[in-house]
């Protein structure tokens, strides 16, 4: 049986999910930007962990909109198929080539501005 997260971890993950749900359709952000907006820049890996677990959460979390700091789809392996993350982004009008978001700087959404 998986270990249950501590209260502090649960609170952090809840904040992560709340912010990720705010990412507008057709925009992306990074693990680090989400972590910083949640008060802990060094917790980018924890944001990645939360995104990996988000497929089981309701209401849904658009984890496909969270990429690494270079716009690379590093989390794609945690989706049902290896191409699903890219397909979901493309359905929103985001172009992806070689697992990298095209025009990443223009499509970047800063979660700190939504708090």
Establish if 90 belongs to a structural domain: yes
Establish if 2 belongs to a structural domain: no
Start-to-end CA distance of the chain, whole Å, equals 35
| pLDDT per position as a tens digit, 35-67 | 999 988 778 999 999 999 999 899 999 999 999
Find the CATH number of the domain harbouring 28.
1.10.10.10
With beta carbons less than 8 A apart as the criterion, state whether 76 and 86 touch.
yes
What's the mean per-residue pLDDT of the chain?
A: 91
Q: How confident is the model at residue 94 (pLDDT cuts 50, 70, 90)?
A: very high
Give the number of other CB atoms < 10 A from CB of residue 52.
14
Establish if 1 belongs to a structural domain: no
Q: How confident is the model at residue 3 (pLDDT cuts 50, 70, 90)?
A: very low
Domains contained in the chain, number = 1
Establish if 114 belongs to a structural domain: no
Give the span between the Cα atoms of 63 and 55, in whole angstroms: 8
Domain housing 67: 7-108
Q: How many helices (H) and strands (E) does the chain have?
A: 5, 4
């Amino acid at each position: 049986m998986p270990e249950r997260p501590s209260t502090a971890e649960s609170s952090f993950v809840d904040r992560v999910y709340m912010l990720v749900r705010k990412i507008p359709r057709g925009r992306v952000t990074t693990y680090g930007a989400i972590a910083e907006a949640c008060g802990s820049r060094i917790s980018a890996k924890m944001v990645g962990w939360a995104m990996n677990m988000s497929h089981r959460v309701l209401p849904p979390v658009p984890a496909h909109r969270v990429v690494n700091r270079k716009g690379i789809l590093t989390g794609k392996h945690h989706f049902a198929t290896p191409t699903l993350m890219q397909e979901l982004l493309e359905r929103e009008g985001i172009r992806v080539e070689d697992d990298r978001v095209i025009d990443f700087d223009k499509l970047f959404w800063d979660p700190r501005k939504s708090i």
